[in-house]
Structure 1
Amino acid sequence: MITFSGVIPPVVTPLLAHDQLDTPAVDRIVQHLIDGKVSGIFTLGTTGEGPSLPYRVRYEMVERTCDAARGQVPVLVGVTDTSLAESLALAEHARSSGAAAIVAAAPFYFDASQQALQDWFSRLADESPLPLMLYNMPSCVGTTLSIDLVAALADHPNVAGIKDSGGDLRYFRQLCVEFRKPGRFSVFMGPEELLADAVNFGADGGVCGGANLLPLVYTDLYAAAVRSDSLEIPRLHSIIHDLFASVYRDENGRMKLIPGLKHAMAQAGLCGPVTAPPLQGFFD
């Protein structure tokens, strides 16, 4: 099974309208990320607004991202959905487009027990043509993947690892201690400001949204954390702190992460600022 490490940005989905992909911008962004030495690209995640996009746009984004990457880095595809059948259909499309793996958070409409979620992920892993990366995203889906659930899935032959965006460092450290298996099961940090801490705990890497704009900052931070560079880590952290203050917050100090990121990328000539509903633009 393919293994993952390093910085794998959750790429934004550039849009001309809420239902129209900006295909040339996909090419620009992917090349920008590859030039920034990323280790992979994660499309249709939270930063990519995956669940808000029409299925037609999701499929087109997968195809264009894989074409633009041209095998230079692996592409991971978010298949989070309330329908298992739709998740599997997108997984098959990801395979045919040349992606390396799929990523899935828990289905997010009906309240489901941990056992029901285990069954859901097991079936997805059983039937997916690509390896599955679990995605713990409680703020968006309303449930945390329990340590027991991860334990039950960690040895599945088609489960490649987990991305944790819960922000609970004790939980994350437990993942690293109990389940990280180099060459077999990868553990990735979601919140980018915790990347260096995560590597110190033994994480394989991070899924850092800010790398869409400043990929070298995050790939350099990962490398500095791997070598425990006590001078370089705080310098790069200070750049990320400034990014949070100037890009992720609007003029009133409200957090508007994805609209702010797209606005900054528009200023850099990478894509336009259009977001998919229900997200609003940076100045709305």
Structure 2
Amino acid sequence: MKLYPIESGNFKLDGGAMFGVVPKTIWNKTNPADENNLIDIAARCLLIEDGNRLILIDTGMGNKQSDKFFGYYSLWGDHTIDKSLALHGFHRDDITDVFMTHLHFDHCGGSVVWNKDRTGYEVGFKNATFWTNENHWEWATKPNAREKASFLSENILPIQESGQLQFIQRPDGDYLEKSELGFGIFFVDGHTEKQMIPHIEYNGKTLVFCADLLATAGHIPIPYVMGYDTRPLLTLDEKTKFMNHAADKNYLLFLEHDAHNPIITVEHTEKGVRLKDVFTCDEILK
């Protein structure tokens, strides 16, 4: 197995929204804001090469939305999925599977693109099977008012219409030991219904793609919950369980949204679980 970081593009979000009730005087130390109170955010996806499979976890925002839409998110840098795939010798047509942790636009927008004449949409990975789970699909296609702006129909429905959509079979509990794609999955409901957190066995260690369960290294303390989470008290329970496991088992935590700390480990301290080490992708994904 080989793993590759796939940088799909950077953007900015309001620091207050990202840290909920945590005061700016605290979160600004780890995630410094600009003059508009915006903090740096990445959309760092992960490519798994395993035998004949090329599995892409999440796809970023994509590029099909309007300039007005992207203007809300202050895009920066020059990363794209296509350039990042090419850097590692791949093309989007090589992808066999696209695994979407959840269907918020910044995680699945790149799964769907304009067609040639820009009259409609088509999947952006024509040879891939697209994976979500049935509970989350139902949640995303009939969105609540809180999340409606994050579940964009043009990012979601064309996947089903393509005939390339498949559902991960959920376990009875919250952890699936081995999914159809070969890795374990932790199912969490605090951020959104049935977000899926992949646990990948790699070089004798467990690498966890944290998605929005742990957005950045600045979110490690348990009460630091994003204002975007639909069930923040449930996030507290899920984070407590996960972060203790991560410290106990020395998980490598792959941070999708941290623009400056790609992979981290955590440890137990007198103040609770805290940051231990920070790694570049090159240091771990060799």
Q: TM-score, with normalisation over the residues of structure 2?
A: 0.30
Where is the strand percentage greater, Structure 1 or Structure 2?
Answer: 2
Higher relative contact order (CA 8 A, sep 6+): 1
Where is the helix percentage greater, Structure 1 or Structure 2?
Answer: 1
